Structures are given as structure tokens and as C-alpha cells.
Chain A
Amino acid sequence: MTTTISRDSRQDQSRASAGSPAAAPRRSSRTEPFTIVSLIGVGAFALFCLIPLWMILAGSLTDENKLSVDGYSLWPSPFSLKAYSAIVAGGALWKAMGASLFITIIGTTISLVATAGIAWAIARRVPRLSTSLAVVGYVPMLFHGGLVPLYILVTQYLHLQDSWFSVILPLAVAPFLVFIGVSFLAQLPKEILESARVDGAGELRTFFQIVLPLSKPILAVIGLFYAVAYWNEWFMALLFITDPEKFPMQLVLQNLIASVSNAAGMIPASSDVAPVYQLRLALTVVTMLPILFAYPFAQRYFVKGLTLGATKG
């Protein structure tokens, strides 16, 4: 056995401990070429993922004069905070931020209530009722009416144009997340439910006082999926929101890419040279900020949800 580096010793402990005593030292006692190839491969892909994001950040901090020539920037020099101060000073961004927050927070709340409720109703295995509900929840995964009937419904019958609820309600129940919820809830120990029942708790009380507290982890997963979807949503807003005052962040950003004059309008008239290109990048950064902050905490839950979806469905 040759030199054992820290990686191998950890692996010996965790992965091979259950195996035969001979197995541990024999396998992977030294760094194999494939491990190095893997490290380089994944490392390169990680750079491929991160460099574009870095360029946006660096560009948003780079002076407008350099941006207008090169169109991008790898390092924020000459350094400039002009775009950010313009964003803070101009009122348009705060409105858009408010719209996005409204859609995300109210939307996630509505979605969680609806999704948890129907997921439990399916997982509860009430004869006939639960199966019918599962079918009702499953069919929209297979077949949907598409864009046009939805558009007619929302604009002609519900009259939700220019209301943020036109973005929220069509997306409020995601069948995929309902079934992730079902697969978790179906595993809750039956004994607890039964004892609640014996103690005289009705179905509603069981749900609110026993099931919900026990399913906090899955609620976090589902809530995060919804929150990210709402924050990033722009198609529904593009369809139904025409009043620029009510645009959420993503739509403001899209408008800004579409034309420079839109960008100039966002900056208070006092500024001498409008940093329009810089502003585009700065607004992109601002749009990503909430996700960036939530990511370290959210990632774990996402992996959990995906794994649940992949193995249990």
C-alpha cells in the first residue's frame, strides 16, 4: 500500500467499512488517473457555469465607456457604481421589485395551501375520493388546453389583465409538486393518525395539528420550488400585464434589453451620461440577488426534492 491521502482515508471509513477487511486497503489506495480526469472535467464545467455569471457581475461594476466599446468585461476596471446608484435613485425598480415580491410571496402562500391540501387528500387514502383526486391532479400533466383558451379565459372571462393574480393563479398548482408531496405524506406513520382519530380529532384538525408540523421538510422543498418559479416567471406577465407600472422584475429586464430608450427612462434625469449598458447588467444582478442569497440554504432542499421525485415519483 502506497501513500494514503486524506481523501482515501475518509473514503475507507465511510464507504468500505462494511466490506471485508481486505477490501479497504486494496481499492483506491492511490489517486487514479480517472479521478484526476473527473476533477478536471467537473472543474471545467463549473467554470463554464460560473464565468458568464461573473461577467455579468463584473460588467455591472465596469465604467460605461469600456462597456460600450467591448460589450463585456471580465474585471471591474475602471470601477463604477453609477448603475447601482441610478437604480437606487430611480423609482421604477422599487415598483418592479414590489411586484415581483408580491407575486412570489402571495403566490407561494396560495400554492402551498392548495398543494399541501390536495396532496394530503390524495395521500390519506379515503376510499374512492383519493383516487378521483389523484386522477384530477394527474390529467393536467398529460393534457392541457394550451395558450389560447387560457388567454381568452383570463382576459375575457376573469378580467384579470394587469392584476398580479393573472401571473399567480394559472401557475398555483403544479401537479409535479403535488405528487412529490403525496409521496412524502403517504409515508407518515399511520399509528399517529389513528391515535389522533381515536382521541377525537377530526380530519381538519389532524391535518393542521399533526400532518402539517410533521411535513415541514417537504413543505420547505415544495415552497422553494414554487418561490423560484414565481420569481423567475415572466411568460404569464408578458401575456397578461400590459401596464408598465405593474411589471415584475423579469419583465422590466426584458423590456430593458429590448430597447435602450426604455433603459434611459429608468434613470433620473439629473445624471449626465446615462449608463444604459451598465444598467442592464446591474439590473440583471439585482434580479438574481434573492436567488443568490437563498441558494446556499435552498440547494439542499432542491436536491432532496429532486431525489424524491426521481426515486419515488
Chain B
Amino acid sequence: MTAPAQSPVLQTPEHAPAPAGRTPRRLRMTAQRWRLRDRAGVLLLALPALTLLFVFAYMPMLGLVVAFKAFNITDGVAGSPWVGFDNFTFFFTSGDAGRVLLNTVGLNTLFLAATLLSGLLLAIMLNEIRSKYLRKPLQSAIFFPYFVSPIVVSVILQTLLSGVGGSGGAVNKMLGFFSLPDVSWYTEPGPWPWILTVVKIWQLGGYTSVIFLAAITAIPEEVYEAGALDGASRARMALHITAPLLRPTAAILLVLGVGRIFFGDFGTIYAIVGDNGTLFPTTDVIDTYVFRALRSQGDFGMTAAIGLFQSVVGFLLISVATLISRRYSRESSLI
């Protein structure tokens, strides 16, 4: 079962070699020779993931040629006729392009700013709460929404805004308490960017604070001790020590967020807005638009063209973002 090329030590597997044999073994370790059999073994372990990635990540990349074709099901991807940039022209002259692109970038900017700010504030405040009995349950409570599915979020929002059966609703009740008129939320596109931002804060505020808290624990205690010796209050220390030291983490999250600014959160937005056309002016993003166009019109060519455009711009942004974030922190080599 062991190849002879390996080493003579292998013949006595039970007995550890004498201390004298230790040094050569170490040397071998650093310059391990990889036999074909070992390579094959490692490759075999990677094979399931490689297969899945090849089929579900790389094949669709090739499938993007559909963007340059008039795709029809009978001819398939390879057989459909080429149409050059017609699909792109169709989208960019359709009048929807401007609205959809603006919404995507606008909403994502709002979401990014709101989640970063709320996560940062929560982390700094959580760091002040030293009692285990308070901190643990509070942290559990603010982290939980991250696990709630978009559909459930949509149900919650309905309950709050229009009532589960389409009448009443907790927010309107509150408005009534201040003798303000009811708002028919699901027919008013105006406030929706803000409503969705609040949803994002609810979903991701606690999640982001966990990332910031991890960075706070990395701050050496001496810094705070020095601050305390100088008579700084906790508030001053939070403002002048914690916050500035969190800048790199915030910068990385910001840059990564900007890298993803072209990708809408389909799950949440579609679960909440669905096919409610009155809300499209402010909530329709690239991903929801593509989905609807695909489902209602079955226009594969144009939707693939939008997807390709999104992927290319997204790729450029992510690449630039990754390069910038690496300059900020050499330790976080990936993401």
C-alpha cells in the first residue's frame, strides 16, 4: 500500500524513528515530494466541488453568449442565430434602463450606508455593556433578524403597513394615534426606499455589529488604559479610540459593498414588492427587472444581455474594490 519511493522509515510504521531520524524527516516535510498518487487523492477530494462549480458557475458563464443571440428553445444555445449587440440596444433604448440602474445603485448606496452606520454604532455601544447577563441576550436579539427569511420579512411588513388581511396595520394605527391620516403604503412608491432601508437595518444591523465587535476585541487593552490614565471618559474613548481604530474594518466593508453595488438584493425586494407595479418607480432593481422580463416576456436574449452588462460592470467594481481593500489590510487576503 505504500510506494517504495516514499522512504525507508515507512517499513516500521509502529515504531517512531530514533531522535537522530527526526531532522531528515523535518527536511522532507518542508520539501515534500508529491507523487502522482497523492495528487490524485487530493484532486479526488476536490472533485465534487469542482464538478458543481463547473456545471453551475462556469457553464452559465459560457451561456452568456445568449446575450448576443436571438435565443429560442428549439435551436438551443449553440444553434440560435447571432444578433450582435441588438439585445443591448433594445434594453438601453427601452426607457427602463435608466430607472432600473438608478434604483439599483441608489438603493444599494442607502442600504450600505445604513447598515454600516448602524452596525458601527451597535458595536461601539455593545462594547460598553460589560455585564454578561445584559450583553448576551441583547446580542442574541439584534443578531436574530439575520436568520429570518425574506418571505417572513414580507409578512411582517404587511402586518405593520397594511394589516395581514389588507385592513388596518400597526403603523396606520400609530399614525391615527397622533391624529395623522392613514397611508396606503402599498400604493405609494415615495417612501419605499426608506422602508426598505429600515428593513435592511433590521436584517443586517446586528450582523454587521458582530464583524465590528470582532475588530474591537483586537484593539489592545493598553490603549484604553492609557486613555483612562489621562482621565478620558468612556464616551471620549469610544469617540477617540474605538471609532478611529475601526476605520480599516469600516473601509473594507465599504469597499466590498461598493463592489457589489450593481447587484440588487433580489430575495428581499421581490419578496416584499413582488409584481406590485405601483411600487416599481422606486423599487425596481436590475435583478427584479430581469426576473420579470424573463418570466412574463420570456425574452432570454435581452435578459441575458442585462445580466452580462451587470456581471461585467460588477466584475470591474469588485476587482477594483478588492485591490483597494487589500491595500487597507494585508491580513485579509481574500473576500
Contact = CB atoms under 8 A, between A and B. Distances in A.
Nearest to B154: A257
Given A118-B50, A146-B60, A179-B334, A27 B225 contact: yes
A23 interface: yes
B48 A113 contact: yes
A216 interface: no
A55 B129 contact: no
Nearest to A291: B147
A302 B307 contact: no
Contact of B211 (A124, A280, A310): A310
A137 B129 contact: no
A39 B129 CA distance: 7
A69 to B, nearest CB: 6
A129 B37 CA distance: 13
Interface string A106-129: 000010011101101110101101
Contacts of B132: 10
A234 B271 contact: yes
Interface residues of A, number: 126
Most buried by A among B73, B214, B290: B214
Given A71-B169, A149-B304, A207-B45, A295 B131 contact: no
Most buried by A among B7, B126, B170: B170
B234 A32 contact: yes
Contacts of A241: none
Interface string B302-323: 0110011011001100110010
Interface string B186-228: 0000000000000000100111001100110010011011001
Contacts of B125: 37-39, 41-42
A253 interface: yes
A200 B57 CA distance: 37
B13 A199 contact: yes
A250 interface: yes
A311 B159 contact: no
Interface stretch (A45-53, A90-98, A265-273): A45-53
A56 interface: yes
Contact of A72 (B59, B151, B169, B271): B169
Contacts of B294: 147-148, 151
A150 interface: yes
A67 B165 contact: yes
B38 A310 contact: no
A70 interface: yes
B166 interface: yes
Interface in A11-34: 11, 15-16, 18-20, 22-23, 26-28, 32-34
B334 A147 contact: no
B64 A146 contact: yes
Contacts of A118: 45-46, 48-50
Contact of A148 (B2, B50, B207, B304): B304
B264 to A, nearest CB: 11
B175 interface: no
Interface residues of B, number: 130
Contact of A117 (B7, B37, B45, B229): B45
Contact of A203 (B41, B131, B134, B211): B41
Given A117-B49, A149-B63, A287-B152, A42 B130 contact: no
Contacts of A70: 163, 167-168, 173
Most buried by B among A11, A136, A149: A149
Given A38-B125, A147-B291, A133 B50 contact: yes
A157 B49 CA distance: 20
A132 B233 CA distance: 52
A26 B233 CA distance: 11
A313 B222 contact: no
A6 interface: yes
Contacts of B148: 53, 232, 288, 291
A71 B291 contact: no
A260 B167 CA distance: 14
Nearest to B73: A156
Contacts of B315: 142-143
A250 B57 contact: no
A117 B211 CA distance: 27
B277 interface: no
Contact of B52 (A143, A173, A276): A173
A159 interface: no
Given A28-B228, A46-B142, A144-B61, A126 B235 contact: no
B13 A200 contact: yes
B308 A146 contact: yes
Instruction: Identify the 10 closest CB pairs spanning chains A and B, nearest first.
Output: A71-B163, A149-B63, A145-B60, A146-B307, A203-B41, A71-B168, A27-B228, A118-B49, A232-B149, A34-B235
15 contacts: A23-B228, A23-B229, A34-B234, A38-B128, A41-B121, A67-B164, A118-B46, A150-B60, A194-B28, A203-B41, A277-B164, A281-B155, A295-B140, A306-B214, A311-B218
Interface of A: 6-8, 10-11, 15-16, 18-20, 22-23, 26-28, 32-35, 37-39, 41-43, 45-46, 48-50, 52-53, 55-56, 59, 67-72, 74, 110, 113-115, 117-118, 120-122, 124, 126-127, 129-130, 133, 136-153, 156, 158, 169-170, 172-173, 176, 178-179, 190-191, 194, 197-200, 202-204, 207, 228, 231-232, 234-235, 250, 253-254, 257-258, 260, 276-277, 280-281, 284, 287-288, 291, 295-296, 299, 302-303, 306-307, 309-313
